[in-house]
Amino acid sequence: MELTTVKDALEIILKSAEDFGIEEIDFLQSSGRILQENIVADRDFPPFNRVSMDGIAISSEAFNNGIRSFKIEGIQAAGSPQLSLKNTENCIEAMTGAVLPKNTDAVIQYELLTIENNSATVNLEAVKEFQNVHLKGLDRKQGDVLIPKDILISAAEISVFATVGKEKVKVAKQPKVMIVSTGNELVEVDQIPAEHQIRRSNVYALVSLLEKLQIKAETAHILDDKETLTSTIEGFLNEYDVLLFSGAVSKGKFDFIPEVLNNLGVQKLFHQVKQRPGKPFWFGKKQHKTVFAFPGNPVSTFVSCLKYFYPWYYKSVNLEMPKNEAILSEDFYFKPNLTYFLQVKLTQEEGKLYATPIAGKGSGDLANLVDADAFLELPDDSTNFTKGTIFPIIKFR
C-alpha cells in the first residue's frame, strides 16, 4: 500500500475542517476560546478628560498670567461627578482617574507643590495645557474596533470585554468529541492488570491534549469485537462531531477499526502515513463527521493528535496555527525514508531556541515524553540531520 506523505495527510485534513457555529458565553469563561465578533468601544477611551497624576487642577492661563499660589476650592475624587472651578485663579485638588474639573486644563502633581493654609504653591517654570491630563478619546474613539474577531482570547481580551461591558461574548462553538480506546489488553486506571494486560492511558493523554484547546471530550472503551464496535461507533457517529480512536488500525487480526468504519459509511481519506511514529494512522469523513483513527502506540497517538488534530481544530475555528521552529543542537541520524518526529528538549539561549534530542528507550515508552517538550519534525528526504539546522517543532508544553 502506498503511504501518504505527512504533507499530503495534513493537507487532506485541513480541507476537512468543519464550522461548528457560534455560541454566546460569559466573558469570564472565555479564556482560550476563539472570539467570533468584533469588540467595539462603547464610548471614548478615556471617556472624559482624565486626571493622570494626583495633585491640583488649575487653569494654565492663570499660571501664565503669573499666579503661583492657588487657593484650594475643593477635591475632585475619582468616581465623583465633575466639579467646576469657580474662580480660575484658584485650584481644585484632583485625583488620578478623576474627571478634570470644569474651567481647569492642567494638573500639577503633589511632588511639585507646597501646600499650606489651604493654598498650593507651584514650584515650576512652565505649565503646559493638558499636562497630566489624559484627553477624552485619545486612546480610542467610540465605535473603534478594540479586538477583531477570530483571535484566541486571553487575559488581555477578558479585561477589554469588561471595560466595554461585554458580559457575554460570541465565540466559536467547540466540536463534540468522543475519544475511543479499543484493545482487549486494556484495563482501567484503578484496576490491577493481569500479566498480559496494561492500563488504559492513551485516551487520558488525548483528553488532556484537548483540554488545552478548551475541548471537553468524552471517552469510551470498546472491546475488539466487530459487532460491538459497529453498533457502538454507529451511535457515536450520530452523536458526536469528531471521533478519535487509539489503536486497532494496523495489520493485526483484531484491527477492525478501518473495516468497521468503512461498513458504517465513513469514507477513508487516507490510511498509513509516511512517518514514525504513527505510520498506521487512518483518517476519514462521513458528511460533516470527522474520524481520526490514531495507532495505539502511546507516542504515536500523542504526536498524531498534536500534528493533525490541533491544526484541524485551528482551521475549523478559523485561527492561524502559530509557526514554531527550533535549531537542532546536535547531529542526528535517521535512516528510514519516513518523516521522523524526534522527541526533543527545548532550551532558550540568547533569543534562540535549541532542540536537543532525548535518548528514547523505545517508541512506545511514554515516560520519555516526560523529559521532552516538543517533537522536532525531520523530513523524509534526508538521513543526516546536521547540528545548527532549523526544523519545525510541535510543542506540547
Among 326, 338, 376, 394, binds its own copies (CB under 8 A): 326
According to DSSP, residue 251 is labeled: S
CB nearer its own copies, residue 335 or residue 397? 397
C-alpha cell, 252? 493485526
Rounded Cα distance between 29 and 119, Å, is: 50
Which residues from 8-67 bind its own copies, rule CB under 8 A? 27-28, 31, 41, 45-48, 52, 54
Rounded Cα distance between 280 and 2, Å, is: 12
Q: Is 298 in the site for its own copies (CB under 8 A)?
A: yes
Rounded Cα distance between 389 and 328, Å, is: 6
Which residues from 237-296 bind its own copies, rule CB under 8 A? 250-255, 296
CB nearer its own copies, residue 29 or residue 269? 29
Of 331, 339, 325, 335, which Cα lies nearest the Cα of 386? 331
Q: Is 325 in the site for its own copies (CB under 8 A)?
A: yes
CB nearer its own copies, residue 265 or residue 388? 388
To its own copies, the closest distance from the beta carbon of 384 in angstroms equals 19
Give Cα 347 distance to the centre of its chain: 21
- Evaluate whether 101 touches 57 at the Cβ level (below 8 Å): yes
To its own copies, the closest distance from the beta carbon of 87 in angstroms equals 21
CB nearer its own copies, residue 19 or residue 129? 129
To its own copies, the closest distance from the beta carbon of 138 in angstroms equals 6
What is the three-class DSSP state of 216?
Answer: coil
CB nearer its own copies, residue 269 or residue 358? 358
Among 318, 327, 358, 382, binds its own copies (CB under 8 A): 327
| Residue 30 burial (C-beta neighbours within 10 Å; 0-12, 13-18, 19+) | buried
CB nearer its own copies, residue 255 or residue 380? 255
Rounded Cα distance between 287 and 266, Å, is: 8
Which residues from 80-139 bind its own copies, rule CB under 8 A? 80-82, 93, 95-99, 109-111, 134, 138-139
| Residue 117 burial (C-beta neighbours within 10 Å; 0-12, 13-18, 19+) | exposed
Which residues from 168-227 bind its own copies, rule CB under 8 A? 183-186, 189-202, 204-205, 207-209, 211-212, 224
Helices (H), 42-153: 60-64
To its own copies, the closest distance from the beta carbon of 64 in angstroms equals 26
Question: Which helix (H) or strand (E) segment is 299 a member of?
Answer: helix 298-304
To its own copies, the closest distance from the beta carbon of 321 in angstroms equals 12
Which residues from 373-392 bind its own copies, rule CB under 8 A? 390
How many residues form the binding site for its own copies (CB under 8 A)?
107
Q: Is 364 in the site for its own copies (CB under 8 A)?
A: yes
To its own copies, the closest distance from the beta carbon of 24 in angstroms equals 14
Give the number of other Cβ atoms within 10 Å of residue 253's Cβ: 6
